Structure 1
Amino acid sequence: MNIFQVIIGTEILNGRREDKHFKFLRDELLKRGYELNASFIIKDDPNLMKDIFYLIKNTPDSFLFCYGGIGATPDDYTRELAAAVFTDKEMDYNRDFIKKIDEKFPHEDNSKKYPLAYWPKNAKPLWNNPINGFPGFYIDNRYFFMPGFPQMSHPMTVEALDKFFPPIKKKERYSLIAYAKESEMLDIMNKIPEYVEFSTLPKLDYTSEISFAGEKAKEIYEWFKNELEKKNIKFEECKSSNS
C-alpha cells in the first residue's frame, strides 16, 4: 500500500499560512499501523497538480489524501483535475450536496454555490464537516479530496480512515546505538537484505542509530550485532518499539 498526501496551497509556500495537515495525517496513519509513502506541498498550479496526480495514479496500490482547492473560486482546480486524472474528465453534480446547500440557505439564489457540488463522476461524499456540513469527496475508495481548512478536513480524514483503513499490526522495530562512524560499518550494511527496512541516523558525535523493521527484522538485527562484535565496535541496544 502506497499512501500519498498532497497539500495544495501557494499560501503555505509563501508563508501566509502554516501547514497543519502533514503531522495530522502521519500520526493518524501511524496509530492504525500505516505509513505515508510521500507528502507533497505544492502551489495552486494546475499543471503541477496534474503531474502529481498522475504520478500517484500510476503508482501501484496507491492511495491519496488531498487537501485544498475544492472550492468554487478561479484558483480552485482540484475538482476538475481530479476528474481529468481519475475519472477520464467526466463530472456531475452531487444531488445530495445540492440539497444540503439549499437546506442551509433556503431563501437565497444558490446557483453560485452549486459548483461546489460539481464533482468527478461517481465520486462519493465525506460528510464529517462540523463547520458547515459541506462534504469533501472520494473516488474508487482510494483517492480522498478535502478542503484546505483543517477544522473541516481533519474530521473527514478520520471518516475516510475509519471506513477504509482498519487497524493493522504495527511493525516491530529493533534499534541500537553504534559507537562508530557510518564508514566503519559500511561493509556490514551492504550485506543487509533488501526485504528488511533498514535505516541509519548518524549523529554529530560520530555515533549512529541503527534500526531494523519488517520481515525477519529480529533475525537481521541479531546478525548485525554479531558483525559489530567481530569488528570490536561497541554498541548499546535500544528498547524495541512498534512503528
Structure 2
Amino acid sequence: MADASQEPVTAGFVVIGDEILSGRTKDKNIGFLAEYLTALGVDLVEVRIVPDVRERIVEAVNALRAQYTYVFTSGGIGPTHDDITADSIAAAFGVSIDVDPRARAILEEHYGSPELLTPARLRMARIPAGADLIENAVSKAPGFRLENVHVMAGVPSIMQAMVDAIAPTLKTGAKMLSRTLDADLPESRLAEQLGRIQDANPQTLIGSYPRSTDGRFTTQIVVRSRSEHDLNTAADAVVTAIRDAQART
C-alpha cells in the first residue's frame, strides 16, 4: 500500500445492475466498500446505481473518473448476455475489447481443460485493451483495472476478495479520526451551539443523531477530523456545550 498522503484521496462507486434497481437483489457492496475505504484513508464521495444500459454505465464512469482519485464498479462482468460492464468500460475509454490471453489461461486452469471453457464462460475473459487484471480468489474469473477505474464482480464475496487484492495498490490519505459524544438532551437543545462550533472549526465534520428510548429523547454527536488537534478542540467545545445545556435544564 502506498504511503499515506496528507491530501485527501477520493473515490466514486458505480453499482451496476437492473436487479439492484428493481429490489430483487439487496445491495451489500456499498456499505462494505465505504467502511473498507474509510479504514484505508480513502473518502468514498459519491455512489451511483445504474441499470444494465451501456450509455448509462459509460456516462457514470466517465463522470466519476474525471472527478475522483479512484472509481470502483460492481456487477455486470459475468457470463450471461446482459453482463455488459466490460464492453461499457471499453466504450468509456474508447478502446477495443477481446478475449485476454492472461484471463483465458486463468479460466482454463480453473475449469481443467479448454473444452470446459464454454462460450459463456469465455465471456468472462473479455478484457478491454490495456487493462490490468484484478485477482479473483473465489471463482477465478478476474476483474480488471483501466487507469483509475477498478471493475469488479457484483457477488459480495467475490467483490470483497477483489477489493482485498487491489487494496495494496491504492494510494491512501490521512485517516479520518472520530469521537462520539452522548448527550442526555434532545437535539433541539444543542442545534444552535453545534452550528456555532462547526463554523468555528471548519476542518471538522460534526454530525448529530437524535435517538428516542421509551419516549425519552437523547442525542449522539460524532466529531470527525483528520487532525487530532482539530478533533480534540471541536470535541472539547461540544462537551462544554452539552454541559452548559444540561445546567440550564
Does the TM-score normalized on the shorter chain lie above 0.5?
A: yes
Question: Which category of TM-score, normalised to the shorter sequence, fits these structures?
Answer: 0.7 to 0.9
Contact 1:198–1:213, Cα closer than 8 Å, also in 2: yes
Contact 2:190–2:241, Cα closer than 8 Å, also in 1: no
Task: Choose which of 140, 158, 168 in structure 2 pairs with 1:162.
Answer: 168
Q: How does 1:10-159 map to 2 (within 5 A)?
A: 10-61=18-69, 63-85=70-92, 87-103=93-109, 104=111, 105-107=113-115, 113-131=121-139, 133-140=140-147, 142-159=148-165
Q: Secondary structure at the match of 1:73?
A: coil
Q: Which runs of 4+ in 1 moved over 6 A?
A: none
CA distance in 2, matches of 1:24, 1:115: 27
TM-score under structure 1 normalisation? Answer: 0.78
1:5 aligns with 2:5: no
CA distance in 1, matches of 2:27, 2:242: 42
Displacement of 1:116: 2.9
Displacement of 1:10: 1.9
Identity %: 22
2:245 matched residue in structure 1:
233
Q: Secondary structure at the match of 1:44?
A: coil
Q: Structure 1's 219 and 96: CA in aligned 2 closer, same or farther, altered over 3 A? A: same
1:220 matched residue in structure 2:
234
More helix by share: 2
2:193 matched residue in structure 1:
188
Q: Secondary structure at the match of 2:73?
A: strand
Contact 2:11–2:68, Cα closer than 8 Å, also in 1: no
Displacement of 1:69: 0.7
Unaligned runs of 5+ in 2: 1-8
TM-score under structure 2 normalisation? Answer: 0.76
**Structure 1 counterpart of 2:81, which letter?**
P
Unaligned runs of 5+ in 1: 236-243
Contact 1:8–1:43, Cα closer than 8 Å, also in 2: yes
Contact 1:4–1:38, Cα closer than 8 Å, also in 2: yes
